[in-house]
Amino acid sequence: MSASTSPLRVVVVDDHQLFRAGVRAELADVCTVVGEAATPATAVAVIADRTPDVVLLDVHLPDGGGVAVLEGLRAAGQAPPVLALSVSDAAEDVVPMIRAGALGYVTKTIETSELVHALQTVAAGDAYFSPRLAAFVLQAFSVQAPSQVSAPGLEALTPREREVLHHLARGYAYKQIGSRLGISARTVESHVGAVLRKLQLSSRHEVTHWAASHGLIAGHDDDERDA
């Protein structure tokens, strides 16, 4: 990661005030938290007002969850880079967020340095695929995956893309993957970008429908245990 010249401007969307305060303190050295929100409606308004470099968005929010924020932003014509985070790490929480437009996903137990790295990566417009996210995405594209995780209307991954995701899931960095596969780190990144586009390309309606049919939009906390 390269040291940014000016601190990243971040909006934190989470319904737990304590968590927002914690993030604000944690990121104080590297980022400026320019706005906070606890609900999708206020989140969209705050983001439109502050135009942050990156949005840190909780998956589980009242009134539709993080997916509702992403859809609200899309409807409002806003497209700030979004890093999703949640306490749970269930594939059915994470994959819809990516499909709805988030560029990365981390769990709330992530170390500060890694969180900063993820925020910087996403703020630069690149995908941040943690090993866990890579595994979930791999699962989403798998035809044999249980219906809760596999999503309809997905274009199949190329063998190379699958290989890249597999390496990501195993904890390899882009550079390491590149040298193992005999390609450049930049090419690895473009493969990840292609995977992300394949996830996000399907129509908004489809994602909404899929998320709703899996109970991801109607409620939030209750769904955590439905895995």
Partner 1 sequence: MSTEPIPGMTPERVAAFNLDRQQWLFGLAGLTLVAALAVALAPGAPSVLIVLLAVAGVAAAGIELGPAAARLLWRRRSLLIVVVIALLAVVWVVIGLTSASGQWTSYLPRFANGTPFPFLLYEPDGQVGATSWPWRVAGLPLLPMLIGALSAAGGLVLVADAVRVQIGLAGPPRSLWRSLTQTPTRGGRTMVRAIPGVALIGVATFLAMSLTSRYIGDREADPLLATILTLGIGGWAAFVIASPVAVGLALRLDVDKAGTAREEERRRFAAHLHDSVLQTLALIQRQAHDPAAVAKLARRQEHALRAWMAGETDLASATLASAVRDAVAEVEDDYDLTVELTAIGDTRLDSRGEEFVSAAREALRNAARHAPGVAVYVFLDIGPVGAELFVRDNGPGFDFGAVPAERRGLRDAVIGRMAFAGGSASVESTPGEGTEVALRLPINGKGR
Q: Both tokens of residue 197? A: 């586009």
Min separation Cβ 139 and partner 1, Å:
4
Which of 63/226 has CB closer to partner 1? 226
Provide, rounded to whole angstroms, the least separation between the CB of residue 179 and partner 1. 8
**Residues making contact with partner 1 (CB under 8 A):** 88-91, 109, 131-132, 134-136, 138-139, 142, 144-145, 166, 169-172, 176, 224-225, 227
Least separation in angstroms between CB 131 and partner 1: 5
Exposed/middle/buried for residue 146 (C-beta within 10 Å: 0-12, 13-18, 19+): exposed
Q: Which is nearer to partner 1, 162 or 204 (CB)?
A: 162
Give 115's contacts (C-beta < 8 A, 6+ positions apart). Answer: 26, 27, 106
Token pair 């990840």 is found at: 192
Q: CB-wise, 50 or 172, nearer to partner 1?
A: 172
Least Å from the CB of residue 154 to partner 1: 16
Q: Which is nearer to partner 1, 47 or 90 (CB)?
A: 90
Sheet with 128-129, edge to edge strand ranges:
31-37, 8-13, 54-58, 82-86, 104-107, 128-129
